Amino acid sequence: MWEENYNESKEMFEDWLRQYEDIRAGKSNAFLEEDAFLEIIEYFDDMEQIRKAKEATRIALEYYPFSSELLVKKADYLILEKQYEDALNILEQATTYDNQDINISILKTDAYLGLGREDAAAREVETAMQKFDSEDCVDLLFELADVYDDYEIFGKVFDCLKKVLEIDPNNEEALYKICFWADFTRRNEESVFIHQNIIDDYPYNELAWFNLGTAYQGLKLYEKAIDAYQYALAINEKMDYAYRNMGDAYIRLRKYKEAIEALKRSLEIGRPESIIYEAIGYCYHRMDSLQNARYFYRKAVHLNPAESKLYYKIALTFMDEAQWLQALKFIETAKNFSRNIYEYDLIKGECLMYLENFEEAIQTFGIVVNHRPKNVAGWVYLIKCLYYAEDYETAADQALNAYDSTGNKPLFLFYYAFALYAVGNIEDALIYLESALHQAPKLFKKVMELNPSILQNNRVVDLLAQFRKSGK
């Protein structure tokens, strides 16, 4: 029966198309009902043949000039062409024939926004809200939310969704969408209030509990967020994205074991995602469980093999174990995917330095400081590498360059003093050391690793003692 009806409908539509082509050709005996014209226009729309749809609308209006539906179609195409004033005139005309078509309000709002008349758009919305019943208003608000999104008036998108939930607190589409927009527009406090009100009336609304959790998370109230997610999961234990968000909240609280448990549960009931494996790897890394960290980073790589930061993170785990060759291998892979991330060059240079490949390490650190001259870490590693390579004069020169480039950081006066000391220029070394100690005495311990034997020099010891006595 269905197939017979379908075939009949298809034959009827094909007959309409033939008659329409006769009308286009000017055959006087051709005729179509208004509904047939609307079906043909919709067909051209669906086929994305807008030029043909516009032509069909024009022809149809010659036969049915008082059709509000056809006028609305014409206005829609005028808006598409950014002819907003003409569209508003057509819509006013359509209103005289049918003032109960909600599409007129939607298109008027669209046209007002195109003209930058946001106040007029807001008035049109308020008028429509009073005019149409609740179900129609929900459809209107969703349509308007899309219009505001197109015009990048994102706060109004949130407002539309908020009004939908005032009409229908259990509307799933609105609940799903407002979760994103609350965070995007930074209206998390308002979102907390909205969803608490929904929960007061509908305590088993799992999406409202979830949205409450995301709102708390956006406000960095992670304990409250976790409580809300747990309520959502008590209602629906298969809500994998609640486990996922809860895992993130635990990470923020540095509760890595709990985070791992939540994220693994998310993987059990949802589809595997690279970002979840990465997060689990991060937790294990923070717990110094480096083999487990690598295991989950590698699972993330399997799903997203072109993501350079995953290779970078694996490299960091090997560096924590002083496995410099393995670390170098993975950081080189990371660089193959993202060549202009200078943090990778920094890690590469560090690996080369500890492998005592000083020449290549110095070149690599040079790339970092050339592209990031204000970056302190790049200069520190370059100077350290030159020092370890026993190129003390160049280390001294680069320490002065670093001092100038980074806004006179006293750290580099310490490095300059140590380099001068290493070349035997003790007097100048002590002068600069004293100057550095005056500015930042606590930094001495950070630089002392370059040459701990400097403490065997009585003059250095006496200088340090002066600062201890003065309490600096």
CATH of the domain at 249: 1.25.40.10
Which residues are CB-neighbours of 125 under 8 A, at least 6 positions away?
A: 105, 109, 140, 144
Flag whether 288 is in a domain. Answer: no
Amino acid 23: pLDDT: 83
- Total domains present in the chain: 2
**Does any domain span residue 217?**
yes
Is 68 part of any domain? Answer: no
Say if residues 354 and 324 touch (Cβ distance below 8 Å).
Answer: yes
What confidence tens digit (pLDDT) does each residue in 7-61 have?
Answer: 457 788 888 888 888 888 777 677 788 898 899 999 988 888 989 999 999 988 9
Q: Name the residue among 314, 308, 307, 305 with its Cα closest to residue 282.
A: 314
438 belongs to a structural domain? yes
Q: Coil, strand, or helix at residue 451?
A: coil
* CATH code for the domain of 464: 1.25.40
pLDDT at 214 over 70: yes
What average pLDDT score do residues 110-124 get?
A: 86
pLDDT score at 471: 55
pLDDT in tens, 161-181: 999 999 999 999 999 999 999
Provide the pLDDT for residue 15.
84
Q: Identify whether 71 is part of a domain.
A: no
Identify the band that residue 469 occupies on the pLDDT scale cut at 50, 70 and 90: low
Which residue from 158, 78, 92, 161 is spatially nearest to 120, judged by alpha carbons?
92
pLDDT in tens, 390-404: 999 999 999 999 999
Output the pLDDT for position 393.
96
d(CA 234, CA 118) in angstroms, rounded, equals 43
- pLDDT of the residue at 470: 56
User: What is the value of pTM for the model shown?
Assistant: 0.79
pLDDT exceeds 60 at position 141: yes
Alpha carbon distance 236, 240 (integer Å):
9
pLDDT digits (tens, 9 = 90+) for 282-328: 999 999 999 999 999 999 999 999 999 999 999 999 999 999 999 99
Which residue range forms the structural domain that includes residue 395?
Answer: 377-472
**Cβ pair 417, 429 in contact under 8 A:** yes
- How far, CA to CA in Å, does 254 sit from each of 102, 223, 259, 260? 51, 12, 8, 11
d(CA 445, CA 454): 12
Would you state the structure tokens that stand for residue 313, as one six-digit string?
A: 């993170």
Q: Which of 225, 240, 255 is the last residue of a domain?
A: 255
Is residue 57, in this structure, part of any structural domain at all? no
Residue that terminates a domain, selected from 255, 286, 308:
255
CA 269 – CA 272 distance, rounded (Å): 9
The last residue of one of the domains, among 231, 255, 279, is 255
Per-residue pLDDT band at 430 (split at 50, 70, 90):
very high
* 165, part of any domain: no
- pLDDT class of 98 with cuts at 50, 70, 90: confident
25 found inside a domain: no
Average pLDDT in the chain = 91
Collect all residues with Cβ–Cβ distance below 8 Å to 47 and sequence separation of at least 6: none
d(CA 43, CA 45): 5
